[in-house]
Chain A
Amino acid sequence: MEAYIIKGYRSAVGKAKKGGFKNYRSDDLAVSIIEALMADFPQVDPASIDDVIVGCANPEGEQGLQVARLIAARALGKEVPGVTINRYCASGLEAIGMAVGKIKAGFGHAYIAGGTESMSLLPMTGYKLSPSYQANLDNINYHVSMGHTAEAVAAKYGISRDAADEFSVQSHQKAAAAIDAGKFKEEIVPISVEEVFVSEGKRQSTTHTVAVDEGVRRDTSIPGLARLRPAFKLGGVVTAGNSSQTSDGAAFTLVVSEAFVKEHNLEPIARLAAVAVGGVDPLYMGIGPCVAIPKALKQAGLELSQIEQVELNEAFAVQALAVIQEAGLDPETVNPNGGAIALGHPLGCTGAKLSIQLLNEMKRRNQTYGMVTACVGGGQGIAGIFERL
């Protein structure tokens, strides 16, 4: 049976450790987004949701204890189960893919799928980094930090510092223009955040609303970025300015079967035509989309030229440029509203967030086929192709 995407909402993306969500839990954030999503469909009984699939790249600490189950119970009632899934930066898209797959297999009719991540509250590598001794003896480069993979990609595919910095400035400019045009307003659920703190010896509380993506720096310039030092490698090209930002955010979609659409009188906006993943050498993690994109196109029976818009997760500018170059993407179709360098990259949430952004922009442009693709830690790539209805 065909599966449809009915709607998606996301939070604004907060700057990790300094933004509006720096003290805000990602499970609380997820509950708010799912509640907002369900509020649009009063005819759907929350208990009729078969499962809540939550992508999360660091499922421990505040987002540990199989966080999806409690998100589901709080947002939809104790009858609704939840599953946490992890494919790092692809988790949010993977969640949508799983929902679609389950419906097509006949295992269920209605799913909430997306992802949530707080990079403020958790250390990047989790609390206990403990790679396999044997794996490290066999291939030390199977566990490397993402910055080094970006340097490796830049070196292998000949991406220069200048090109990376220029790409990053464009990302900020496009994102600023999109925000100014109000493009993200319809998809963002404003979140009211209470802060209780001690200031000048007294307990105080304030409440602020986070409704706009926080990462955009309007004054970013090429000379400004050129002054930054390489973050990972002596004489390297990857800097804090041409890498994605660490972020906090949540995004969820409602994915249902054809029967469920009819039963509840829903209006589908799109279907997921294909989703594919593939593996590459972990040291060249960033090039991952290049193996996933052809697989997805083949599944969907489409040519690359038919893809009108691509949301390519900008883990690093050098990596995004290498993918554009090697996969043969038309730069004009890529990230019309900027990417993670400007808008942030809340790991487990990102895949769902980009899907929602893509579908809304496709609607504005009246496009039919669009793609979300991302490189994934450990040397993987994902690509999902959406057909707008």
Chain B
Amino acid sequence: MSFRIKKVVVLGSGVMGSGIACHLANVGMEVLMLDILPRDLDPKKANLPQERNKIANAALQAAIKSKPAPLYSKSYVNRIKTGNFEDDFKAIADADWIIEVVIERLDIKQHIFAQVDEYRKAGSLVSSNTSSIPIHLLAEGRSADFKQHFCGTHFFNPPRYLRLLEIIPIAESDPKMIDFFMEFGDVQLGKQTVLCKDTPAFIANRIGVMSGCKLFALTEQYELSIEEVDALTGSLLGRPNTGTYRLQDLVGLDTGDKVTQFVVNNVSDDEFFEPMKGQETPAYFRFLLDNGFLGNKSGKGFYEKTKQKDEKGKTIINALNLKTLSYEPSVRPKIAVAKQAKGIELMDKRMQFLLEGDSKEQHFLRDYFLALFSYTAMRLPEIAEAYYKVDDAMRAGYVWDFGPFEYWDLLGFAKGCELIEAAQLPLPQWILDMRAAGIESFYKYADGKRMYYDFQAQQWTPVSGTESLIILDSIREKSPLIKNSECTVHDIGDGVMCVEFTSKSNAIGEGIGQAMSDAIDMAEAEGWNGIVIGNNAKQFTVGANLMNVGMLAMQKKYDDLNQMVDQFQQVNMKIRTSKIPVVVATQGYVFGGGCEISMHCDAGVYAAESYIGLVEVGVGLLPGGGGTKEFALRASDAYFEGDVQMPTLISHFKSIATAAVATSAVEAFDLNYLQKHRDQICYNTSRNIGMAKEKVLQLAPGYVPASAREDITVLGRSGMSVLYSAINEFRLGEYMSDYDVEIARKIAYVICGGDLTSTQKVSEQYLLDIEREGFMSLLGNQKTLDRIQYLLMNNKPLRN
């Protein structure tokens, strides 16, 4: 890389500006965020920085209080300094990157960039986060060096969580800088970078706005309620639960309308939007805008959260009736085809079912998808040279599980073409050419790579940017090393195996334990370099297979259970003590048993967006796969000569006893799930397996296996007593039920090594034995079984 970025100036502190500032702080940047001087500058304090920086300060405070949290760790706010355009513009001379996020007005932005041009050091990078102004206009009149180092960098809100970063070069942009931003955005900022052209709304919003407008129109055409459309366009399609209308409420109707108007008024040669020019806004949308019902930020929009509660104590939500323009109590729609489709696990089969039936809802979805396919295909090569970029953008920016061409593949390429033609929608020549060339899908896997069809060169080509990623789907065609119903073990090259969980929600059962054990045996016997435990699913794992545990417990098959828990403990110990390095790669939920597995690995590569926790107490259990033992061990390792020990013991105990879940991998260090010397963070989730493999290869030469420990200091009764007092505080404060107290005391017992009368050193196996006893005794309690059953049936914990 020819560029290095450490200091960044963010110009503008609105929702996007402060969100971007926070995310830059997340990845270790030194950030200076500037905004205008307050218009009502208090003359008495006019010289004080806190008064002059009031706008940026207030914005930053609002950002760090917002949810979901924009920072990986609250302490990172120290990485952001604030200032104002009057006093601090000179500071941009020190900046490596200056990103503009001010109000969407060309004249203001041009004025700002003129100043940037004046103060910046030559060679520093400058970009704009605009979503609706052509990038090249922003650089007009600027110096040659400025233009050479200028482009669009378009984040999506909220910047920490939405993975898309659109990079938009201008004609003068240095290609090396664009390459740099594509790489930096990916590796350092953890984003899916997509190279865009300077076309209106770039890629994601162009397609997103079309998708939204089409769904609005079809809602009216098919006379569906907004709840029905939301039910049809959410998780059923692999999209966020907010569906169509709740998403609008979340984004803000005014914001959504502005982007729509912008697209409508600025596109050309666009068969979908051109007819909308000059057309009147639908009555219901006018009604909402005119009344200021702009969505969540104004308390109501398409939906309204009332202050009333129903007989179950739930807040009553009203939904707008689009015809009568009145709010009516929202009802959960009962749609037969939706229910049926939900039962179809395989998405291709589900899509085929949804798009080929004759119900009103199926017609609705068919009309929508065919329009989406046709429109998106027609936009190429206008908005992108290659169609995978559109899919990348929609997945990362709109959190769709599939982009338009991937949905099309689910339906079938030929089938899609046929239906589009039957619906008399246009298809571009390149699609017709592809069909004529006998191409059967938009994507395929070959040689372990994901390939797309380059319709200009007329050949299959690897999707760029994925070379260094390990995508398990791409090696599925190779026969796996080990495979059972819950787990597949792959050869990911260079003598490294990857243990992939494949069960529902990646729940851990005996199959996973067996496969991990067999993989270790095979790796040791055959001289492999090591093992990565990782998968590409949204959630690394939700933890142990509760259904299985609950069933055995209800049937009182305690011997089987005891053996099962023992085996899981032994597999985790085998991970720890095996002769080869085992490295975990996680993302999303890393709960319960998954957390226990990861804590026993030699090292971990944790995606920053990993949500890690030992959550067993929620179902009336304690971590029984070595997790409680591991916390005793970690507390012991933290004690030092002369230490009073109790605060360390309490902080370790608390993570388990309160089922604390880290909201980022960074926070997991504070909760003792991660350890500084062992674990590292990976900003781009899709790179975690690749990085874990590198870690294996780094550890493999001269790897010395760990031995089972015999030297764990436990505090016995004196530790238990202090924990009993702490538990009692929770009970008195009514944060714990009587049964919570019982569970917490069991945890206290295990983590202190039992009711020993003195501090002493014990072995890992001793701790595993008392951990297993504690686990089994809780499983024998009806209240635990009630908790397990309740969670399985209601997907939320029971307090009993």
Contacts and interface: CB of A to CB of B under 8 A. Distances in A.
Interface in A162-199: none
A130 B646 contact: yes
Interface string A123-163: 00001111111011000110111001001100000000000
Nearest to B757: A133
A131 B722 contact: yes
Contacts of A301: none
Nearest to B717: A133
Contacts of B720: 133
A145 B732 CA distance: 10
A128 B725 contact: no
A238 to B, nearest CB: 10
A130 B732 contact: no
B729 A128 contact: no
Contacts of B718: 130, 133
Nearest to B728: A140
A232 B718 CA distance: 25
Contacts of A152: 732
For A132, A135, A145, A152, which residue has the most chain B Cβ atoms within 10 angstroms?
Answer: A145
B732 A131 contact: no
A332 B720 CA distance: 47
A129 B732 contact: no
B346 interface: no
B474 interface: no
Nearest to A232: B733
A234 interface: yes
B724 interface: yes
B734 A233 contact: yes
B695 to A, nearest CB: 38
A148 B721 contact: no
Nearest to A230: B733
A132 B721 contact: yes
Interface in B749-800: 755
Given A128-B644, A128-B646, A151 B722 contact: no
B222 interface: no
A236 interface: yes
A235 interface: yes
B735 interface: yes
Interface of B is mostly: helix
Interface in B700-731: 717-718, 720-722, 724-725, 728-729
A133 B735 contact: no
Interface string B615-658: 00000000000000000000000000000111000000000000
Contact of A236 (B645, B721, B728, B733): B733
Contacts of A235: 734
Nearest to B645: A128
* B interface bracket (residues with beta carbon within 8 Å of A): 10 to 19
A136 B721 contact: yes
A233 B734 CA distance: 6
Given A131-B722, A136-B724, A144 B732 contact: yes
A145 B735 CA distance: 15
A130 B720 CA distance: 9
Nearest to B724: A136
Contact of B732 (A127, A128, A132, A148): A148
Contact of B644 (A127, A143, A148, A234): A127
B733 A131 contact: no
Contacts of B722: 129-131
Contacts, number: 55
Interface string B153-184: 00000000000000000000000000000000
A148 B729 contact: yes
B721 A144 contact: no
A13 B734 CA distance: 34
A93 to B, nearest CB: 28
Given A148-B733, A232-B733, A234-B733, A129 B646 contact: yes
Contacts of B717: 133
A144 B729 contact: yes
Contacts of A127: 644
Nearest to A142: B725
B733 A141 contact: no
Nearest to B729: A145
Contacts of A145: 729
B725 A129 contact: yes
A194 to B, nearest CB: 27
Contacts of B733: 148, 151, 232-234, 236
Contacts of A132: 721
Contacts of B644: 127-128
Contacts of B735: 234
Contact of A234 (B724, B728, B734): B734
Contacts of A131: 721-722, 724-725
A141 B728 contact: yes
A151 B645 CA distance: 30
A30 to B, nearest CB: 25
Contacts of B728: 136, 140-141, 143-144
Contacts of B724: 131, 133, 136, 140
B757 to A, nearest CB: 9
A242 B646 CA distance: 30
A210 to B, nearest CB: 25
Interface in A51-90: none
Given A128-B644, A129-B646, A133-B720, A140 B725 contact: yes
A89 to B, nearest CB: 20
B718 to A, nearest CB: 5
B721 A151 contact: no
A32 B718 CA distance: 40
A151 B732 CA distance: 9
Nearest to B723: A136
A309 to B, nearest CB: 35
Contacts of B645: 128
Interface in B66-80: none
For A132, A140, A148, which residue has the most chain B Cβ atoms within 10 angstroms?
Answer: A140
A233 B721 contact: no
A322 B732 CA distance: 20
Interface in A215-236: 232-236
Nearest to B733: A233
A132 B732 CA distance: 19
Nearest to A128: B644
Contacts of A140: 724-725, 728
A133 B720 CA distance: 7
For A130, A144, A235, which residue has the most chain B Cβ atoms within 10 angstroms?
Answer: A130
Nearest to B719: A130
A148 B729 CA distance: 7
A148 B734 CA distance: 11
A181 B337 CA distance: 79
Contacts of A129: 646, 722, 725
Contacts of B725: 129, 131, 136, 140, 143-144
Contacts of A233: 732-734
Contacts of A133: 717-718, 720-721, 724, 755
Nearest to A152: B732
A143 B732 CA distance: 12
Contacts of B734: 233-235
Contacts of B729: 144-145, 148
Interface of B: 644-646, 717-718, 720-722, 724-725, 728-729, 732-735, 755
28 contacts: A128-B644, A128-B645, A128-B646, A129-B646, A129-B722, A130-B718, A130-B722, A131-B721, A131-B722, A133-B717, A133-B718, A133-B720, A133-B721, A133-B755, A135-B721, A136-B725, A136-B728, A140-B724, A140-B728, A143-B728, A145-B729, A148-B732, A151-B733, A152-B732, A233-B732, A234-B733, A234-B734, A235-B734
Closest 6 CB pairs of A and B: A128-B644, A133-B717, A133-B721, A148-B732, A233-B733, A234-B734
Interface of A: 127-133, 135-136, 140-141, 143-145, 148, 151-152, 232-236
Given A131-B724, A144-B725, A232-B732, 4 more contacts: A128-B644, A130-B722, A145-B729, A148-B732
